[in-house]
Amino acid sequence: MHIHILGICGTFMGGVAQLAIAAGHRVTGCDANVYPPMSDQLRQAGVELIQGYDATQCAIQPDVFVIGNAISRGNPLLEAILDQGLPYVSGPHWLAEHVLQGRWVLGVAGTHGKTTTSAMLAWILDDAGMAPGFLIGGVPLNFGISARLGDTPFFVIEADEYDTAFCDKRSKFIHYRPRTLILNNLEFDHADIFSDLAAIETQFHHLVRTLPSMGLIVANAAESSLARVLNRGCWTPVSHFNTAQGFRTSGDDAHGQLALHDENGLIGETSWSLTGEHNRANACAALLAARHVGVPFDKGLDALSRFINVKRRLEIRGCVRNITVYDDFAHHPTAIATTLAGLRRKVGPARILAVIEPRSNTMKLGSMKQLLPDSLAAADLSFCYTAMLGWDASVALAPLAERFTVDDNLDQLIEKIASHSRPGDHILVMSNGGFGGIHQKLLERLKQ
């Protein structure tokens, strides 16, 4: 089959392309911005890439056009496909029919922690010799790739609640039909799609309705939103974690320890490199999901001792003059606060300079601007890049008093960060995008 993918350089669609190539299909694709690193990965995989969405691409005549959810009505190629009556499907639809069908799908859903938990789960299964396929919205450093077809029944997928495509406004995860499902947490997000938390809960319940009665839901007992979802109807056994009466984790960040407990006491423990309550909860969920496909807790814990985490999760990008620069994908206020808390536990009383780019659709709309001051409270100084905002970040961050700086010019912001930096500092850059290459630019500036 020849497929032509619109929006191919996004993380998800790029992963679909790589899986399609591995499955023996011919893949071509286009995007508005064909640039590294995804463009390099795709070309190395044998994908022919086209810059832009010119309607003349209809002449390629693939068996089907696969449409990414970044493509909207008015896109010239999409309009030509519709006008000519050419065959098209969404990315999740194609993935479900041609990759996931007939496999034991392990889905990881939730507002936060999907990528890390998916990476943990895939690694636990791989370490146990189960060689799963996977599609993860980041690069797990244990694998060095974000997608793998695999040749066993098992497939781990990051189950995103974002919408499917211009023609299908259900969440992507509705298409995946998992047998094992992790529900990590559930907060309001994606204000460009969902009107409120209840609307997202409805999509999560649609997902719950697709699970077989012989499957398993691994749910965070500390989340009232998930309890509401399950109370709307559940036909699948549920294993809860994060509960004093059931499965839970504990640990010591200073000594790199992770322990798993149930109602009868300690199950097992291991050493590992991650920190924070959120990562211990992610680990608990992954261990329970892995047990559902046959990996005992002791083997799962042993695998986590060799888990390296995901690229852009408190990733150290460099150290200059004893000033360390980190890159993290955090962009929701809860994730920002959690990431800062994890770094604070790691560095103790050392100064933390938080640098944020509120570039997600939710943040650009200002839906959560009032939560930003509290999310940044653990930082000694905060810097906010405001180029894409339609609201006044200075007003929103005013509760931080003299501890914040805003600027809509990236070079000027870098100068301000550098001028406030001193040896021993930890600069935490948080964005769900490339942030204009700020990490390397800042490191170069600090060398001066």
What pLDDT digit, counting tens, does each position of 366-409 carry? 777 888 999 999 999 999 998 888 888 889 898 998 899 989 99
Tell me the C-alpha distance between 60 and 57, whole Å: 5
Q: Are residues 217 and 270 part of one domain?
A: yes
Residues 329 and 425 in one domain: yes
Q: At what angle do helices 333-347 and 277-292 cross, to 10 degrees?
A: 110
Whether residue 261 is found in the same domain as residue 348: no
What pLDDT score does 292 carry?
98
Q: How remote is the C-alpha of 199 from its chain's centroid? A: 20
Is 97 within a domain? no
Are residues 353 and 270 part of one domain? no
How high is the pLDDT of residue 180?
98
Provide CB contacts within 8 A for 273, sequence distance 6+. Answer: 256, 307, 308, 309
The answer to the question of residue 309 being in a domain is: no
State phi, psi for 33 to the nearest 5 degrees: -130, 95
Query: Could you give the angle at which helices 277-292 and 114-127 cross, rounded to 10 degrees?
Result: 50
pLDDT score for 281: 92
User: What CATH number does the domain containing 443 carry?
Assistant: 3.90.190.20
Where would I find the H helices in 10-140?
A: 11-22, 38-44, 76-83, 91-95, 114-127
Report, as ranges of residue numbers, the positions in the chain whose pLDDT lies below 70: 35-37, 191
Lookup: tokens for 111? 């507002």
Q: Do the domain assignments include residue 274?
A: yes
Is the same domain home to 56 and 125?
Answer: no
Residue 310 within any structural domain of the chain: no
In the listed set 281, 304, 327, which residue is the last one of a domain according to the structure?
A: 304
pLDDT at 138: 83
Taken in order 206, 207, 210, 211, is the CA torsion positive or negative?
Answer: negative
Taking only the tens place, the pLDDT of each residue in 120-144 is 999 999 999 999 999 998 889 899 8
Whole-Å CA distances, 7 to 16, 95, 127, 159, 342: 11, 15, 33, 19, 34
Q: Which among 252, 260, 251, 310 has a CA at the least distance from the CA of 285?
A: 260
Which of residues 48, 71, 92 is at a domain's end? 92
Q: Do 110 and 233 lie in a common domain? A: yes
**Is 139 among the domain residues?**
yes
DSSP state of 393: H
> What is the spatial distance between Cα 119 and Cα 49, in angstroms, rounded to a whole number?
28
Identify whether residues 160 and 257 lie together within a single domain.
Answer: yes
Give dist(CA 179, CA 294) in Å, integer. Answer: 13
Q: Are residues 65 and 138 part of one domain?
A: no
- Calculate the dihedral angle through the C-alpha atoms of 397, 403, 406, 409, rounding to the nearest 10 degrees: -160
Q: Are residues 259 and 390 in the same domain?
A: no
- The three-class DSSP label of residue 392 is coil
Residue 154 shares a structural domain with residue 299: yes
Measured CA to CA, the distance from residue 317 to residue 295 in angstroms comes to 34
- Residue-wise pLDDT tens digits, 45-102: 889 999 999 999 999 999 999 999 999 999 999 999 999 999 999 999 999 999 999 9
Same domain, 167 and 249: yes
CA 437 to CA 415: how far, in whole Å?
A: 14
Element holding 284 (H helix, E strand):
helix 277-292
Structural tokens at position 83 = 């006008």
Query: What range defines the domain where residue 72 resides?
Result: 2-92
Q: Are 323 and 425 in contact (CB under 8 A)?
A: yes
Residue pointed to by tokens 């781990």: 156
Other beta carbons less than 10 A from residue 74's beta carbon? 8
Residue type, 142: N
267 and 179 assigned to the same domain? yes
Q: Which two three-digit tokens encode residue 302?
A: 């042993």
Q: What is the CATH number of the domain that holds 203?
A: 3.40.1190.10
- For the chain, what is the domain count? 3
Whole-number pLDDT of residue 370: 86
CB contact at 8 A, 4 and 57: yes
CA atoms within 13 A on the CB side of 257: 9
Which of 73, 92, 111 is the last residue before a domain boundary? 92
Please say whether the beta carbons of 303 and 142 come within 8 A: no
C-alpha–C-alpha distance, residues 165 and 70, integer Å: 7
What is the CATH classification number for the domain harbouring 86?
3.40.50.720
pLDDT at residue 371, as a whole number: 87
**What pLDDT is recorded for position 46?**
87
Contacts of 167 (CB under 8 A, 6+ apart): 67, 88, 90
- What is the Cα Rg of the chain in Å? 22
Number of helices (H) and strands (E) in the chain: give both, helices first: 15, 23
In a domain, 43, yes or no: yes
Judge if the upstream peptide bond of residue 37 is cis by omega within 30 degrees of 0: yes
Hey, what's the torsion of the CAs at 360, 366, 369, 371, to 10 degrees? -70
Query: What pLDDT does residue 167 have?
Result: 94
Helix (H) or strand (E) holding 117: helix 114-127
Question: In the prediction, which pLDDT does 36 show?
Answer: 66
